[in-house]
Amino acid sequence: MNHLPSPTSPQHTFDVLIIGSGLAGLSAALHLAPTHRVAVLTKRTLSDGASGWAQGGIAAVLAEGDTFDAHVNDTLVAGAGLCDLAVTRAVIEGAPHAIAWLRGLGVPFTLEGEQLHLTREGGHGARRIAHVADATGAAVQRTLIDVVRSAPGITLFEHHTLVDVITAHKLGLPGQRCLGLYALDEVTDEVLTFRAPQTILATGGAGKVYLYTTNPDTATGDGIAAAWRAGCRVANLEFIQFHPTCLYHPHAKSYLISEAVRGEGGQLKLPDGTRFMPQHDARAELAPRDVVARAIDYEMKKHGLDCVHLDISHQSPAFLHEHFPNILARCAELGIDITKEPIPVVPAAHYTCGGVLTDLAGRTDLPGLFAIGETACTGLHGANRLASNSLLECMVFARAAAQAIAAAPATPVPDLPRWDNSRVTDADESVVISHNWDELRRFMWDYVGIVRTNKRLERAAHRITLLQAEIQEFYANFHVTRDLLELRNLVQVAELIVRSAQLRRESRGLHFSRDYPELAAPAAPTILVPPVA
């Protein structure tokens, strides 16, 4: 690599660096701001992450008759034997506090009388989803962004893309520690140096590695790839959750039809009106997402369909306007009246259940580096995430990481080398990046999707090797751009997903292999260890 230290580019010093501005990152920033100088870096604007897209809500035991044990059990069942029990219990028992914290910040949760209205989603045995109509993530994000923008102690860096974290080992210094990071400022087109004793990766998942996804364009696995390059283990990356119901329409990019539509009685049907889920699972439409996604995939392949239909038209228009105003309005814009006709839907990559391996406080293998939210693999989700546990995990681990950082002894950070562009040039063939991006997402969808085989995984691995060589040549010789950095990260995460899938010789949760259709014992996570640099 020809990017070498230079004394010219700026350096920023903080107590804590947070990369990512979703619920995990902003929550951590607010917990730390009273006592620490915090920088929040986000590669677009504060509102462009995946958290704002979450429709369903936040799972929490709040209703009379519901129990922590019941929520734990539902999570364990969905996770297909791979959830960490201690982590699961800690997250679920932290849910009421997390909801109370959000209400204290002013999040306008939907009420029923004086109490929170709780809806139900697939895999849950009770109503325990606190929500803001059908746009919970957006409401939570708006509230947090308003608070963060006015909070002393937090400096915001929008349009700053993570290039890599900086480690003592890479600089030839004694010890193994994260010292900061390099980030591309897209406004000035300059790579800046940020140093801090503590860094939190809250960069979200990697849904954009697939052709069809419910994720925003920012979901390119940046934190997972950077942590891997820094020497951190990753776990369970074969478990990519495909949401069963993404709106199928040429003008509806990545629009999710919430789990709650099925929770409130929506039925999945073939084009002729035949309901099919009862033939696949006794829980029908309320089965966990992996079961429903495979059932839809099966019916689409069997009948040669482009989509199936989700019908909630038996509910009254008043009910739909109250509970699903945004879904109703978006469908209406596209000429679909959900009060009278079904919604065309297809599965799409939705959530990265694996990620950077952490402990109960979000610590990674590298001292000074934390990972929280979808970037992390905490042990909560196992082989399949239970609906509406993701926003909950973001908040519980943001608080835990902030507490761990607050309790950590002060650690001095040396002056760091600046980024050097003196030996690189402008790329003359940027079209290579867009072609590689398209090729990667297509073969990942075809070969590493809802149903996998050994042969498909081998084909994907071969193509990834070729792409990595091309992308590394670009990275070594040309000025970095956000497109190049995202592609570099996506192809790295794609390799880790394929390697993890090849190691799992069974079908469990979200990983379904035609070559290994049965469960194997004992249940064990897939952990990848990076090569020693």
Helix, strand or coil, per DSSP, at residue 192? strand
| Residue 433, C-beta contacts closer than 8 angstroms, at least 6 positions apart | 427, 474, 481, 483, 484, 487
Rounded Cα distance between 427 and 415, Å, is 31
| Encoded tokens for 509 | 């949760």
Q: Read off the tokens for 476.
A: 């070594």
Query: At residue 456, what are phi and psi to the nearest 5 degrees?
Result: -60, -40
Determine whether 262 is an active site residue: no
Alpha helices for 79-213 (secondary structure H): 85-93, 95-105, 136-149
The Cα–Cα gap between 202 and 372 comes to: 5
Catalytic residue, chosen from 195, 262, 289, 488, is: 289
Handedness of CA 527, 528, 532, 533 (dihedral sign): negative
- The one-letter amino acid code at 182 reads Y
With tokens 């999707």, the residue in question is 449
Query: Alpha-carbon distance 31 to 324, whole Å?
Result: 32
Dihedral Cα 324, 326, 330, 331, nearest 10 deg: 0
511: which residues sit within 8 A by CB, 6+ positions away? 238, 239, 383, 452, 501, 504
Strand partners, 192: 183
Q: How far apart are CA 158 and CA 155, in angstroms?
A: 10
Question: Is it true that the peptide bond before 414 is cis, omega within 30 degrees of 0?
Answer: no
Residue ranges of alpha helices (H) inside 478-527 are 482-503
Active centre residues (catalytic): 289
